[in-house]
Amino acid sequence: MIYVTRRAAFSASHRLYNPQLSSEENIALFDKCANEMGHGHNYVLEVTVAGEPDEKSGYVIDLKKLKEILKREILDKVDHKHLNHDVEFLRGVIPTAENVAKAFWRVLQPHITDGKLYSIRLHETENNAVEYRG
């Protein structure tokens, strides 16, 4: 079994806010992350696919293909966007790193047919990261 990882970066805004709570409860829960006008990050995404290398190519998955899948399914939809407002597949989701990683998994998994999706790792800052393995 080989684990192949592709890294990509994107820049987006978000706001942590639960509409079922009051303004005060949101600030108590999310502090400065609840700032009304939002804030943003250079997110770093690492997608790992697990499988056996193909005999003919020596690849688990052609990383050029994985790069294209990431671009088409994820980056084109979230880069230079506001995660609360602009992204169809995040509608109704509080965009914490945890929830965004799970949403990315749901979007990507059907497209990974060489090997199997193993992990989505999402860095929000240089000090904070989450990982989801399905």
The CA–CA distances, whole Å, from 85 to 19, 20, 21, 33, 133 equal: 14, 17, 19, 16, 26
d(CA 51, CA 1): 5
Asked if 9 interacts with a copy of itself (CB under 8 A), we say yes
Classify residue 115 as exposed, middle or buried by CB count within 10 Å of its CB (0-12, 13-18, 19+). Answer: buried
Active site residue 123: no
Show contacts with a copy of itself in window 46-105 (CB under 8 A). 53, 56-60, 63-64, 79-82, 84-86, 93-99, 101-102
8 class by beta-carbon count within 10 Å (0-12 exposed, 13-18 middle, 19+ buried): middle
Exactly one of 25, 80, 85, 98 is catalytic; name it.
80
23 touches a copy of itself by CB under 8 A: no
Residue 5 or 109 with smaller CB distance to a copy of itself: 5
Active site residue 98: no
Considering CB under 8 A, how many residues would be counted as binding a copy of itself? 62
End-to-end distance of the chain based on CA atoms, in angstroms?
18
Residue ranges that bind a copy of itself, judged by CB under 8 A: 1-9, 11-14, 16, 18, 20-21, 29-33, 35, 37-42, 53, 56-60, 63-64, 79-82, 84-86, 93-99, 101-102, 125-133
The residues that are catalytic are: 33, 80, 124
